[in-house]
Amino acid sequence: MKAYIETSGCQMNENDSERIIYLFEREGYNRTRDIEKSDLIILNTCTVRERAKNRLYGHIGNLKRLKSKNNDILICIGGCIAQNLKERIIEDFPFVDIVFGTHNIAELPDLIKRKIAGGKSICSVRDDGYDPDIFKVKREYDFKAYVPITIGCDNYCSYCIVPFVRGKERSIEKNKIIKNINMLACGGVIEVTLLGQNVNSYGKGLDDKCTFPQLLEEVSDIKKIRRIRFLTSHPKDFSKDITGIMKRRKNLAKHVHLPLQSGSNRILKKMNRLYSREDYLNIISNIKDNIPDCSITTDIIIGFPGEKREDFVKTLDMVKKVRFARAFTFIYSPREGTRAYKFKDCIPMKDKQKWFRELLDIQNMISLEENKKFIGHKFEVLVEGRSKKGTCMMEGRMENNTVVNFRGSAGLIGKILSVKITGAKSFYLMGKLD
C-beta of 141 vs 330, nearer to ligand 5AD: 330
155 binds, among ligand 5AD, ligand SF4, none (CB under 5 to 8 A by kind): ligand SF4
Residue 197 touches which of ligand SF4, ligand 5AD, none (Cβ within 5-8 Å per kind): ligand SF4
Q: Measured between alpha carbons, how far is 119 from 162 in angstroms, rounded to an integer?
A: 32
- Candidates 119-127, 213-221, 329-337, 386-394: pick the segment binding ligand 5AD (CB under 6 A): 329-337
Contacted entry of ligand SF4, ligand 5AD, none for residue 156, CB cut-off 5 to 8 Å set by kind: ligand SF4
Question: In the bound complex, what is the minimum distance in angstroms from residue 152's beta carbon to ligand SF4?
Answer: 9
- Residue 333 interface partner, choices ligand SF4, ligand 5AD, none, CB cut-off 5-8 Å depending on type: ligand 5AD
The total of other beta-carbon atoms located within 10 Å of residue 320's CB is: 13
Q: Which is nearer to ligand 5AD, 50 or 133 (CB)?
A: 50
Residue choice 333, 364, 401, 426 for contact with ligand 5AD (CB under 6 A): 333
Check residue 335 for interaction with ligand 5AD (CB under 6 A).
Answer: yes
CB of residue 410 to ligand 5AD, shortest distance in Å? 32
Kindly tell me which of 48 and 189 has the beta carbon lying closer to ligand 5AD. Answer: 48
Residues at the interface with ligand SF4 (CB under 6 A): 153, 155-157, 160, 162-163, 197-198, 234
Residue burial 398-428, b: 16+ Cβ < 10 Å; e: rest:
bbbbbbbbbebeeebbbebbebbbeebeeeb
**Bridge partners, 429 (sequence order):** 404, 424
User: Please, what is the minimum distance in Å from the beta carbon of residue 428 to ligand 5AD?
Assistant: 21
**Shortest Cβ 88–ligand SF4 spacing (Å):** 22
- For residue 75, the minimal CB distance to ligand 5AD (Å) is 27
State the binding partner of 49 from ligand SF4, ligand 5AD, none, CB within 5 to 8 A by kind: ligand 5AD
User: Smallest gap, in angstroms, from Cβ of residue 195 to ligand SF4?
Assistant: 12
For position 332 contacting ligand 5AD by CB under 6 A, the verdict is yes
Residue pair 297/324 in contact (Cβ under 8 Å)? The answer is yes
**Residues in region 249-308 near ligand 5AD by CB under 6 A:** 259, 261, 299, 301
Site string for ligand 5AD, 177-216 (x = CB under 6 A): ----------------------------------------
Using the minimum distance from each CB to ligand 5AD, give the nearer residue, 244 or 334. 334
Quick one: which of 95, 141, 330, 343 contacts ligand 5AD (CB under 6 A)? 330
Determine if 405 is a binding residue for ligand 5AD (CB under 6 A): no
Instruction: Count residues binding ligand 5AD (CB under 6 A).
Output: 12
Identity of the residue, 216 or 271, whose beta carbon is nearer to ligand SF4 in the bound complex: 271
Interaction between residue 150 and ligand 5AD (CB under 6 A): no
Integer CA distances (angstroms), 60 to 54, 305, 322, in order? 10, 31, 41
Q: Does 48 bind ligand 5AD (CB under 6 A)?
A: yes
For the chain, give the secondary structure using H, E and C. CEEEEEECCCHHHHHHHHHHHHHHHHCCCEECCCHHHCCEEEEEECCCCHHHHHHHHHHHHHHHHHHHHCCCCEEEEEHHHHHHHCHHHHHHCCCCCEEECCCCHHHHHHHHHHHHCCCCCEEECCCCCCCCCCCCCCCCCCCEEEEECEECCCCCCCCCCHHHHHCCCEECCHHHHHHHHHHHHHCCCCEEEEECCCHHHCCCCCCCCCCHHHHHHHHHCCCCCCEEEEECCCHHHCCHHHHHHHHHCCCECCEEECCCECCCHHHHHHCCCCCCHHHHHHHHHHHHHHCCCCEEEEEEEECCCCCCHHHHHHHHHHHHHHCCCEEEEEECCCCCCCHHHHCCCCCCHHHHHHHHHHHHHHHHHHHHHHHHCCCCCEEEEEEEEECCCCCCEEEEEECCCCEEEEECCHHHCCCEEEEEEEEECCCCEEEEEC
Q: Pick one of ligand 5AD, ligand SF4, none as the site partner of residue 431 (Cβ within 5 to 8 A by kind).
A: none
Distance of CA 197 to the CA centre of its chain: 9
> Does 374 help bind ligand 5AD (rule: CB under 6 A)?
no
Q: Which residues bind ligand 5AD (CB under 6 A)?
A: 48-49, 159-160, 259, 261, 299, 301, 330, 332-333, 335
